[in-house]
């Protein structure tokens, strides 16, 4: 792994490597136990646990899935284990006490796509940063996105896609926003493993978010610009 990982105490490295193995084997209880130990015994932050334990483990699962070593049922078990561990981290990630409310985000995984681990992580971290998050779940079509944006007067739309076959649907949603006269009102953030900066630009999104931390940074920065534009407009 990385130099940062190598610098961790040997016992903690061992814990993380065991967590990765347990995730690979879909051992939910063990992954949860490892997460709790990393928090309580080693004082690790959720970001460290995600980076060195959970996401690192899921990367190995993804590589073996791609190479035909693992199949859907095993990957599903790993996903369940990861989701259970994320529930342990949820209260820490979503705790926004003392943080000023930043704005409202509608987020979902686009139509045809059922991957939701990364999107849920983004949703939790946005909540923790002070955003109100309306999480529409998976397989979300343009109508549902539009309806939720109107209902909640959303400032930001976040879309996730993990498949090369579903990422083009993001363009469909953005085109619908334009047709409905909503495009200028919402900041559009997109993310998911197959996406690129160039793709995001091509479909007319405001920002490509490589990971959850980048999504939070982008949401905060673009919200500041939006608030400033509103302020200037109200003064004119
Ligand atoms: Co799927 N799957 N899968 N899968 N799966 C991938 C995506 C794949 C890359 C695996 C591979 O071949 N290596 C491959 C896609 C190939 C491609 O299109 N290029 C693939 C495939 C092919 C499939 C099926 C078609 C398999 C089949 O049925 N034959 C099928 C599709 C089902 C469907 O959606 N219609 C399928 C099914 C599944 C499971 C159900 C078994 C399971 C999903 C369970 C679940 O999510 N509840 C699953 C999983 C787990 C994966 C891998 C292994 C892991 C994904 C994951 O959770 N990563 C994945 C391999 C991989 O990505 N390396 C794979 C961890 C997560 C934290 O990262 O989601 O990237 P990620 O999110 C990051 C960033 O991308 C970003 O921030 C997140 C956090 O840092 N981000 C956003 C994500 N969304 C964002 C939204 C934002 C901002 C940032 O909005 C503002």
> Do 133 and 122 touch, CB atoms closer than 8 A?
no
pLDDT at 100 over 90: no
How would residue 194 be classed by pLDDT, with cut points 50, 70 and 90?
A: very high
| Average pLDDT score, the chain | 96
Mean pLDDT, residues 178-207: 98
How would residue 148 be classed by pLDDT, with cut points 50, 70 and 90?
A: very high
pLDDT at 46 over 80: yes
Ligand 1, pocket residues at CB < 6 Å = 55, 58-59, 61-62, 65-66, 72, 75-76, 79, 107, 112-119, 121-122, 158-160, 162-164, 189-194, 209, 211-212, 215
Beta bridge pairs of residue 133: 105
pLDDT at 230 over 90: no
What pLDDT score was predicted for residue 99?
80
Q: Where are the domains of the chain?
A: 3-93, 103-235
Residues with Cβ within 8 Å of 229's Cβ and at least 6 positions away in sequence, in order, are: none
pLDDT at 115 over 90: yes
pLDDT at 154 over 90: yes
Of the candidates 78, 189, 173, which has an alpha carbon nearest to the alpha carbon of residue 131? 189
Strands (E), 82-212: 103-109, 131-135, 156-160, 187-191, 207-209
What pLDDT score was predicted for residue 97?
77
Of the candidates 87, 86, 82, 89, which has an alpha carbon nearest to the alpha carbon of residue 22? 82
Q: Specify whether domain 3-93 bears CATH 1.10.1240.10.
A: yes
What 3-state class would DSSP assign to 164? coil
Give the architecture-level CATH label for domain 103-235: 3-Layer(aba) Sandwich (3.40)
């Amino acid at each position: 792994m990385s130099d940062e990982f190598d610098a961790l105490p040997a016992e903690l490295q061992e814990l993380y490597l065991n967590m990765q193995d347990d995730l690979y084997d879909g051992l939910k209880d063990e992954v949860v136990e490892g997460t709790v130990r990393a928090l309580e015994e080693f004082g690790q932050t959720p970001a460290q646990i995600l980076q060195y334990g959970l996401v690192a483990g899921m990367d190995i699962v993804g590589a073996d899935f791609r190479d035909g070593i693992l199949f859907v049922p095993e990957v599903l078990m790993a996903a369940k284990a990861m989701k259970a561990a994320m529930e342990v981290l949820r209260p820490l990630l979503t705790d926004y006490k003392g943080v000023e409310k930043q704005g409202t985000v509608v987020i979902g995984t686009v139509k045809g796509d059922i991957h939701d681990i990364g999107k849920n992580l983004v949703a939790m971290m946005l909540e923790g940063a002070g955003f109100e998050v309306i999480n529409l779940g998976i397989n979300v079509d343009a109508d549902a996105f539009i309806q939720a944006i109107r209902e909640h007067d959303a400032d930001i739309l976040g879309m996730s896609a993990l498949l090369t076959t579903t990422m083009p649907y993001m363009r469909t949603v953005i085109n619908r926003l334009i047709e409905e006269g909503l495009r200028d009102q919402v900041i559009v953030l997109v993310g998911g493993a197959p996406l690129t900066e160039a793709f995001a630009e091509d479909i007319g999104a405001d920002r490509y978010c490589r990971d959850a931390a980048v999504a939070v940074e982008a949401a905060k920065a673009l919200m500041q610009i939006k608030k400033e534009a509103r302020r200037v407009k109200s003064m004119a």
